[in-house]
Amino acid sequence: MKLALVQMTAAEVEQYEETAQKILCLAEEACSQGAEMILFPECAYPAYMIGRDPQRHFLKCLPELLEGLSGIAAKNKVYIAVGAAFPEGEKLYNSVIVYGPDGKMRGKGCKSNLWHFDEKWFTAGGEPFLFDTEFGRIGVMICADGRVPEVARMLRLGGAQLILDAVNLVASAEAPDKLTNQQYQFILPIRAWENGVPIAVCGKAGVESGSVCGLGRSFIASSDGTIIAECSPDREEILVKDIQLPAPAPLTLRRPELYAPLCSPVRLQEQTRWLDNPEQAEVFAALIRFSAGSRKEYVLRAEEALKRCGMMDVRLAVLPSTQGFVLESEDLNAIGSAVVQGTAVVDCEDKDGNRRAMFLKNSGCAGMLAPTHSGQEEGAEICVLELLPGCHAAVMFDEEMAVPEIARVAMLKGADVILWLDRKGCGPDKLLAQTRAAENKVFILRSGPHGENERSYAVSPDGAQLFTSFLLKARLHRD
């Protein structure tokens, strides 16, 4: 299928008549380049800042525009998806309207997660929209919907083989060639990867109303999360790319029976409890890396590292995996006794080979968590522990981080921190950690496998890297 992304230059809402004509011209141009599916940006018509036209004068041109797009779709036997402010009674929706090769409207999707000021003039939409084509089933979402993992997941579970994402991604930088933002850097590529379907993202370039700077960079991310084509950050252009729609692979890691909190009311007090004790909101954390050839050496190196952590007021220390040998109870006691304050986390196995995260305090074992998704244990659930006053943590093992529902449930249960004990090196690990942190507003501490190209690192709730270890091949000195 030849997919065309029509990246437009941002325009003012007062220019709605010129914008309507431009959309029709750009649709014709995309058809002349052989497009079979055409995607326009969010609010291609009339603009994003429609609040500047409180009388909604722009609505008078909407019927003519839609009739024109219907005619172009029928004449050229193409699909056209266009972002537009669409009225229903007194309500106005941020919509993507889809026409088929017969010129008939296939339906429309409405943005369900309104961002910042657009909630002043738009009504939030409902469920995501899917439509069938001869190429496969296609889903539609709009801009901030992509920040919410459930939206893309619902489209994927509904059979989507391609997701169209009409956006007005905003950005800032010293120069246009440096423009970037979270959705472009990691969130949307990870949406494609975690769902195993390509995502086409189409937005605007330039500045609207002297304040909203468009990212440009409309792009297509393949099902492995790789950006395979993209536009410039600062020009109006049409990108045409021939893509194949894969038959989605089964989502074998999902265990829906564990995800009931996704459909339960959010307890806001869980998210703000630290306000009563602001001194508890600061937790120094450490990710410890070393190799050990024996159980005895592991214990000695762990004790040494934890004593250093005590000198630096670390309250949460994550030790490396003990993969390769089993720690005895006396070993765990010895490690716990070296904890000066707070909690140390050990990724280990018991004598039966069952993987566990052990939480150790100076006073003894404070808790234990096992993998949630690796088996079908009766009564399993996604657990959150209060490791420290004001610090609640969940643990994810290896490829569990690839399942967005797990981190989401952990956050809804009050997790401030997710400890990712990754022995395998799971996919695009850093982009994955950044996405889970940003979409759930939690810290991610990733303890990576002990390999030449591996590292441990921490990510903040906005997706920024807080600190990292060296790659092993780049180490300046011995662990």
Burial 289-320, CB ≥16 within 10 A → b, else e: beebeeeeebbebbeebbeebbeeebbbbbbb
Among the candidates 189, 214, 242, a domain finishes at 242
Range of the domain at 426: 256-474
Higher-scoring residue by pLDDT: 96, 177: 96
- Are 64 and 199 contained in the same domain? yes
- Are 193 and 223 contained in the same domain? yes
- Are 229 and 280 contained in the same domain? no
Residue 479 has pLDDT above 70, yes or no: no
Residue 98 has pLDDT above 60, yes or no: yes
Residue 66 has pLDDT above 90, yes or no: yes
Residue 357 has pLDDT above 80, yes or no: yes
Residue in 81, 75, 66, 67 with CA at minimum distance from that of residue 3 = 81
**Mean pLDDT across the stretch 331-358?**
93
Number of domains in the chain: 2
Write out pLDDT tens, residues 121-180: 999 998 889 999 999 999 999 999 999 999 999 999 999 999 999 999 999 898 989 999
- Are 236 and 308 contained in the same domain? no
Whole-number Å distance between alpha carbons of 55 and 298: 71
Residue 436 has pLDDT above 90, yes or no: yes
Q: Is the distance from CB of 182 to CB of 438 less than 8 angstroms? A: yes
- Are 226 and 360 contained in the same domain? no
Is there a cis peptide before residue 46, judged by omega within 30 degrees of 0? yes
Q: Which tokens go with 103?
A: 């010129």
- Are 75 and 174 contained in the same domain? yes
Residue in 172, 176, 200, 198 with CA at minimum distance from that of residue 81 = 200
Among the candidates 208, 242, 276, a domain finishes at 242
- Are 302 and 195 contained in the same domain? no
Whole-number Å distance between alpha carbons of 164 and 201: 6
Residue in 144, 215, 213 with CA at minimum distance from that of residue 181 = 215
Residue in 66, 73, 62 with CA at minimum distance from that of residue 38 = 73
CATH code of the domain containing 151: 3.60.110.10
Average pLDDT of the chain, as a whole number: 92
Q: List 418's β-bridge partners, or say none.
A: 394, 444
- Are 305 and 170 contained in the same domain? no
**Mean pLDDT across the stretch 202-206?**
97
Establish if 81 belongs to a structural domain.
yes
Q: Kindly compute the dihedral angle of the four CA atoms of residues 292, 298, 300, 305, in this order, to the nearest 10 degrees.
A: 90
pLDDT of residue 275: 46
pLDDT of residue 376: 55
Among the candidates 242, 277, 297, a domain finishes at 242
Establish if 479 belongs to a structural domain.
no
Residue 245 has pLDDT above 60, yes or no: yes
Q: Which tokens go with 260?
A: 């009931």
Q: Which tokens go with 398?
A: 């290896």
Write out pLDDT tens, residues 306-342: 999 999 999 999 999 998 889 999 999 999 999 999 9
CA angle 444, 214, 128 (to 5 degrees): 65
Residue type, 136: G
Establish if 197 belongs to a structural domain.
yes
Establish if 79 belongs to a structural domain.
yes
- Are 152 and 287 contained in the same domain? no
Residue 49 has pLDDT above 80, yes or no: yes
- Are 146 and 195 contained in the same domain? yes
Percentage of the chain with pLDDT > 90? 78
CA angle 264, 442, 408 (to 5 degrees): 30
Establish if 249 belongs to a structural domain.
no
For 318, phi then psi, to 5°, come to: -110, 115
Establish if 413 belongs to a structural domain.
yes
pLDDT of residue 267: 56
Q: Is the distance from CB of 68 to CB of 24 less than 8 angstroms? A: yes
Residue 477 pLDDT class (50, 70, 90 cuts):
very low
Establish if 251 belongs to a structural domain.
no
pLDDT of residue 271: 47
Single pTM value for the model? 0.90
- Are 233 and 267 contained in the same domain? no
pLDDT of residue 224: 94
Write out pLDDT tens, residues 252-280: 889 999 999 998 876 544 544 544 555 55
Whole-number Å distance between alpha carbons of 446 and 192: 22
- Are 310 and 380 contained in the same domain? yes
H, E, C per residue of the chain = CEEEEEEEECCCHHHHHHHHHHHHHHHHHHHHCCCCEEECCCCCECCCCHHHCCCCHHHHHHHHHHHHHHHHHHHHCCEEEEEEEEEECCEEEEEEEEECCCCCEEEEEECCCCCHHHHHCCCCCCCCEEEEECCEEEEEEEHHHHHCHHHHHHHHHCCCCEEEEECCCECCCCCHHHCCCHHHHHHHHHHHHHHCCCEEEECEEEEECCCEEEECCCEEECCCCCEEEECCCCCCEEEEEECCCCCCCCCCCCCHHHCHHHHCCCCHHHHHHHHHCHHHHCCCEEECCCCCCCHHHHHHHHHHHHHHHHHCCCCEEECCCCCCCCCCHHHHHHHHHCCCCCEEEEEEECCCCCEEEEEEECCEEEEEECCCCCCCCCCCCCCCEEEECCEEEEEEEHHHHHCHHHHHHHHHCCCCEEEEECCCCCCCHHHHHHHHHHHHCCEEEEECCCCCCCCCEEECCCCCEEEECCCHHHCCCCC
Establish if 42 belongs to a structural domain.
yes
